[in-house]
Amino acid sequence: MTDRVAVITGGTKGIGLSFSRRMVHLGYRVIAVYRDDDASAEELATELRGDVVPIRADVSDPAQVSRLAESVLAGHGAPHVLVNNAGRNIDGPFLDMSHAAWRQVLDTNLSGPFYLAKEFAPEMLHLDQPSIVNIGSTTAIRPRLDGVNYCASKAGLLHLTKCLAMELAPTIRVNCLIPGMIDTVEMNTRFRTGEPAARAAMLAEIPQRRIGSPDEMADALEFLIGDGARYVTGQKLIVDGGQFMW
């Protein structure tokens, strides 16, 4: 599979880092897209020398996505797998939320996957069993406080997934992988899991009584992009320890 390419946005950190490692393990060359943390990108490139190509590009900017796609297609060819994982939270009460906070989150979490799919899907249509996986959130289905921008962006992403699954069928399968509480710096900071009371309250809502690991998300990704999921498209796969049973 060494000629296979996977583009993973936000592939240098958190859940995306596990995705990058797993895809390399599966024999893919990984293009790991990140926004501005060069140090994490260099660390990953050193760890997986030759198999990962980190590229700095802001997915919320269509011009940067276009340049990214040009360079990937010219240098590596069309990707068999596109994982739209880059995501952003700028939380706050609706009444205080600025237009900028609304736009930045929507542009990254919803428009970014649209731009990436627009650039790569026409080329992916010529490949054998290509697949797009969008990384969603349970808040796409059940909203939470102080996240009007994030919840709306992920709800849109879930529907974008279904529309793309219809329009790109039968060649490209498009699915939405939804993490529950997954152990990343971003999640631990935002939900204050270092504080015993906050952590206990969170775990009380999860039947598996633990926070999930990024590797468990990579297990689910491996299923969705693999032959075992060849009849699965337009679906959401929720990996959350049973927190929400929809």
Which residues neighbour 146 within 8 Å (Cβ) at sequence distance 6 or greater? 91, 92, 93
Closer to ligand NDP by CB, 129 or 188: give it. 188
Helices (H), 26-130: 38-47, 62-75, 99-106, 112-124
User: Judged by CB under 6 A, does residue 175 bind ligand NDP?
Assistant: no
Contact string 155-174 vs ligand NDP (x = CB under 6 A): --------------------
Distance (Å) of CA 20 to CA 27, 166, 215, 225: 11, 27, 11, 13
Q: CA triplet 114, 228, 32: central angle to 5 degrees?
A: 40
Please report, as residue ranges, which positions from 87 to 116 form the binding site for ligand NDP (by CB under 6 A): 87-88, 108
- Interface with ligand NDP (CB under 6 A), residue from 91, 123, 146, 186: 186
139: tokens are 């808040």
Contacting residues for 197 by C-beta, under 8 A, at least 6 apart: none
Candidate segments 72-80, 94-102, 183-191, 193-201, binder of ligand NDP by CB under 6 A: 183-191
- Taking the least distance from each CB to ligand NDP, the nearer of 58 and 119 is 58
Segment lying near ligand NDP (by CB under 6 A), choices 82-90, 95-103, 141-149, 194-202:
82-90
- Pick the binder of ligand NDP from 135, 176, 218, 224 (CB under 6 A): 135
Largest CA distance in the chain: 52
Please report how close the Cβ of residue 17 comes to ligand NDP at its closest, in angstroms: 7
Q: Which residues of 61-84 are buried (b: 16+ CB within 10 A; e: fewer)?
A: bbebbeebbeebeeebebbbbbbb
Minimum CB separation of residue 126 from ligand NDP in Å reads 26
Residues with active-site annotation: 150
Nearest to 19 by CA among 44, 49, 1, 42: 44
Using CB under 6 A as the binding rule, whether residue 238 contacts ligand NDP is answered as no
Nearer to ligand NDP, 33 or 168 (CB): 33
- Binding residue count for ligand NDP, defined by CB under 6 A: 30
| Site residues (vs ligand NDP, CB under 6 A) | 9-10, 12-16, 33-37, 40, 58-60, 85-88, 108, 135, 137, 179, 181-182, 184-187
